[in-house]
Amino acid sequence: MTTGFPEDLATHSAKWGGDLELVQGAGGNTSAKAGGVLRIKASGKHLADAVVEDIFVDLPIEAAQAMADGAPAPAGLKGGLRPSIETSLHAIIPSPVVVHLHMVDAIAHGVRRDAETALGRALAGLSWGWVPYVKPGPGLAKAVREVVAGRDLDVVVLGNHGILLCGDSCEAIDRLIVEARGRLAAPPRPAALDEGQLAILAERLGLEPARIPQAHLAAAHPENLRFATAGSLYPDHPVFLGRGARVQPPNAPLDPASETALHLVPGVGALLARDLPDTAHQMAACLGLVVSRIPEGADIVALTRAQEDELIDWDAEIYRRNLART
């Protein structure tokens, strides 16, 4: 086994992965570099499981970097695992430790039309960069490569996606996370919900109340609802929940043509299709956490239908969905 990797990569990964405001489901990924080798989370694995399961795979850094330009992932990795979709993204950044999180405060900034300006105010004094939305994978790696070229960046915010943190150690990343969260934090708008009515509606419509309380935030305030139904706000949403979310009037039947599994009853709460995996419920919670932090009156940018299609039909994401179901 290659030596020189941080011994605390697994413990820190599990800590970050266990925080719903940083990571949801199998989202996010961590990596470290040593001796010409990249160690990165395997696709579909959960960071929260890093201390109870071997979730990492090793591959040559040069091979991982080549993936940004279309080269296939190396074959024969342990256990038949696939490296993260974002392997090339981690490989092209020179920092010894790179962490990609779906931090809800970063997403709440990154969906705004004035994101770069708002981030400039919040992150002033930090070494940071901005990359507008690009589909995860090689395209995003190339976009980030252009931004980081010749610059020693600690933070890169990804439009409609999350945040990258780069450092020499897991402890350094930990400090960056605290700093970034403090600068980007916005208190969520208060919730006004009716759990009793939600249970009645779930039974009548053949749906299930969201299992994670934060999901109900999306239906708890008119502005939250406006943002939540504007379209998919980040890549994992259409992968696990379908297209965006829809308003479900309390007295109306369920729309059979709906393309989403997430139905929001204004002032009542969030309902999801039955028998969805826990990952889908974490995505619904992420939406509630994000939209409740976007400033009232903000103009936001959602993924286009074409951008949703390229995620929903992508083999790499079908693989992750199948893992989530098992």
Q: How confident is the model at residue 1 (pLDDT cuts 50, 70, 90)?
A: very low
Q: Rounded to an integer, what distance in angstroms lies between the CA atom of residue 317 and that of residue 18?
A: 22
Q: Which residues pair with 131 in a beta bridge?
A: 158
Q: Which residue has the tokens 């995996």?
A: 277
Helix ranges (DSSP H) in 47-169:
61-66, 87-92, 104-110, 115-122, 138-148
* Domain residue extents for the chain: 9-184, 195-325
Please write the tens of the pLDDT for every residue from 259-278.
999 999 999 999 999 999 99
Instruction: Write down the pTM of the prediction.
Output: 0.94
Please write the tens of the pLDDT for every residue from 189-223.
877 778 789 999 999 999 999 999 999 999 999 99
| Token pair listed for 91 | 């490989």
209, 199 Cβ separation under 8 angstroms: yes
Residues in Cβ contact with 62 at an 8 Å cutoff, skipping those fewer than 6 apart: 36
Q: Which residues of 25-41 are buried (b: 16+ CB within 10 A; e: fewer)?
A: bbbbbbbbbeeebbbbb
Q: Cα-Cα-Cα-Cα dihedral of 165, 241, 285, 164, to 10°?
A: 0
| Token pair listed for 217 | 């935030």
CATH architecture entry for 9-184:
3-Layer(aba) Sandwich (3.40)
3-state SS class at 127: coil
What average pLDDT does this structure show over 222-232? 97
According to the model, what pLDDT value does residue 315 have?
75
User: What is the DSSP secondary-structure string of 53-74?
Assistant: S--EEEEEHHHHHHGGGTPPPP
Closest residue by Cα to residue 47 from 74, 20, 75: 20
Please write the tens of the pLDDT for every residue from 131-144.
999 999 999 999 99
Q: Distances from the Cα of 6 to the Cαs of 51, 83, 173, 277, in angstroms?
A: 14, 19, 12, 32
According to the model, what pLDDT value does residue 117 have?
98
> Which element (helix H / strand E) includes 286?
helix 278-291
Q: Rounded to an integer, what distance in angstroms lies between the CA atom of residue 210 and that of residue 262?
A: 9
| Token pair listed for 63 | 């091979």
